[in-house]
Amino acid sequence: MEEELISKKELLDATDISYGQLYRWKRKGLIPEDWFIKKSSFTGQETYFPRQKVLSRIEKIKSMKEDVSLDELADVFTPTLSEVALDHGEIVSRGIASAEVLRIFLEEGGGGEMLSFPDLAALFLLNRLIVAGDIGLEEGKTLLDVMTEAAGALGLEACEVFLTRKLGVFSCFIVKPPCSIVTDKGVKIIGRQNMAALIEEIKLKLI
């Protein structure tokens, strides 16, 4: 399905921001270059944006820019694994994982006293899925194994995680877009997580 677009004029009207603000945020890296889509129109060329992505991003920028510098926001919205490490107490206090899910993660060999950002990403996703009841403990162990392998082979920042079941049997896989996925009719996709969006959520908890 083709992504719904919004024109620059519609965007400025809908968000009540100026042309100057929009392009300043672009220069700062708050709005990705590839979201500025040039398309031919009867007046020449017009700029469009992916509607949901850009509206959500501008809402976040507006809600946070009074408390956080634009440079700090740019780091949040850059989908790279930061050079950050947290101890167990900070992980729980910042809401990255519950104490119980952290214990499960550590028992599976998921790190030591300080967890690096890739470990935090895996832990955060594991916590979300277990708390929501989407997966069980054994399925969570499978997810961690796959994420560990993908981190070395693909780099998690640009990946998407898919959770599936077929005849009640859980499986998961990680892909690096752009790609197309086709499954047989018996496979049900029960969850999908864009890792860049997940990393952004974690970074917001670290500000």
CATH 1.10.1660.10 domain residues, the chain: 5-76
Amino acid at 2: E
Structure-model confidence comparison of residues 34 and 207, the more confident one = 34
What pLDDT is stored for residue 81 in this prediction?
A: 67
Q: Is there a contact between 174 and 161 (Cβ–Cβ < 8 Å)?
A: yes
Amino acid at 25: W
What pLDDT is stored for residue 88 in this prediction?
A: 94
The answer, yes or no, to whether residue 180 has pLDDT greater than 50, is: yes
Question: What's the whole-model pTM score?
Answer: 0.71
Q: Is there a contact between 156 and 147 (Cβ–Cβ < 8 Å)?
A: yes
Task: Provide the 3-class DSSP secondary structure of residue 38.
Answer: strand
Amino acid at 35: W
Residue 2 pLDDT grade (very low, low, confident, very high; cuts 50, 70, 90): low
Distance of CA 106 to the CA centre of its chain: 23
Between CA 55 and CA 65, with CA 60 as vertex, the angle to 5 degrees is 130
Q: What is the mean pLDDT of residues 95-103?
A: 92
Of the candidates 78, 100, 70, 74, the one whose C-alpha atom is nearest the C-alpha of residue 88 is 100
**25-51 tens-digit pLDDT:** 999 889 988 899 998 877 778 999 999
d(CA 108, CA 126): 12
Question: CA-CA-CA-CA torsion for 158, 105, 189, 1, nearest 10 degrees?
Answer: -20
End-to-end CA distance of the chain: 35
List, in sequence order, every residue forming a beta bridge with 175; answer none if it has no partner: 160
- CATH fold of 5-76 reads Multidrug-efflux Transporter Regulator; Chain: A; Domain 2 (1.10.1660)
Of the candidates 83, 70, 1, the one whose C-alpha atom is nearest the C-alpha of residue 31 is 70
What pLDDT is stored for residue 70 in this prediction?
A: 85
All residues at 6 or more sequence positions from 14 whose CB lies less than 8 Å from its CB, including other chains: 6, 55
Place of tokens 């997580």: 193
Least confident of 67-81, 88-102, 117-131, 179-193: 67-81
What pLDDT is stored for residue 1 in this prediction?
A: 46
Q: What percent of the chain has pLDDT over 90?
A: 42
